[in-house]
Amino acid sequence: MAEEPEPTCSEPHHDTKYCDDQKSATMVKAKKCVRWSTITVHEFGVGLGGSAVSNKGGPSIGLADPPEFTWTTRVGEMAERAEGLHRFTPSQRIRLLQAAGIPDGIITRHTRETNIILGSRRRSKTSWEDSDCDEAEEEEGDEDEEGCKEQSRKRSADQATLEHPCAVYLRRPRMIPVNYV
């Protein structure tokens, strides 16, 4: 690597202190900074099929393909207009989709698919809790066996069928065909 040449004082000053101050000032590297002055905002309409499935059920909502509006504002002005995160109830999401022109049959289909996913999550969560209880029972022996039995008595009928995987598979809701309307 080549060393940086030392700056020379070409000013016709007789004061050497001035040249020394100028040398040290040029040796210090300038700080780099980035300043944001404007924000471009793209506003999208409501569409079907967001990437998240609500725990409360109902169809998932996402963004429509092309943005409806695009505008630019200054950074300070945008801070005053922040609206925060919206969480919609299932009925609010259905009304939003209906207002966006989505047919009721398609909304119903997506609602059913969401319910199928939520049911699968509940069954999966219950089976993991049961396996944790079985592992704890093996480690602790007969001491905690009564606690696990108490938990198993409190299970609902759907959760009890998890002990028999074939029964769970047979009771699984059928998937909705693609051409369903």
Mean pLDDT, consecutive 10-residue stretches, the chain (181 aa), reads: 50 53 64 84 84 84 86 76 72 91 92 89 79 64 54 53 48 52 47
Q: Are residues 155 and 180 in the same domain?
A: yes
The pLDDT value given to residue 64: 82
**Co-location of 92 and 53 in the same domain:** yes
Domain-embedded: residue 138: yes
pLDDT of residue 99: 92
Residue 47: beta bridge partners? 62
Q: Looking at the structure, do residues 125 and 169 belong to the same domain, yes or no?
A: yes
**What crossing angle do the helices spanning 145-153 and 104-140 adopt, rounded to 10°?**
160
Give the per-residue pLDDT at 82. 54
Q: Is residue 22 part of a domain?
A: no
In a domain, 14, yes or no: no
Residue 141 lies in a domain: yes
Question: Could you tell me if 109 and 178 lie in one domain?
Answer: yes
Q: What is the domain extent for residue 93?
A: 37-102
Residue 91: its pLDDT value, please?
Answer: 92
Residue with tokens 């209906």: 98
- Whether residues 56 and 115 fall in one domain: no
Distance in angstroms (rounded) separating the CA atoms of residues 101 and 119: 28
Whether the full predicted model's pTM is greater than 0.95, yes or no, is: no
pLDDT of 104: 93
**Residue ending a domain, choose from 66, 87, 102:** 102
Q: Is 47 exposed, middle or buried (0-12, 13-18, 19+ CB in 10 A)?
A: middle
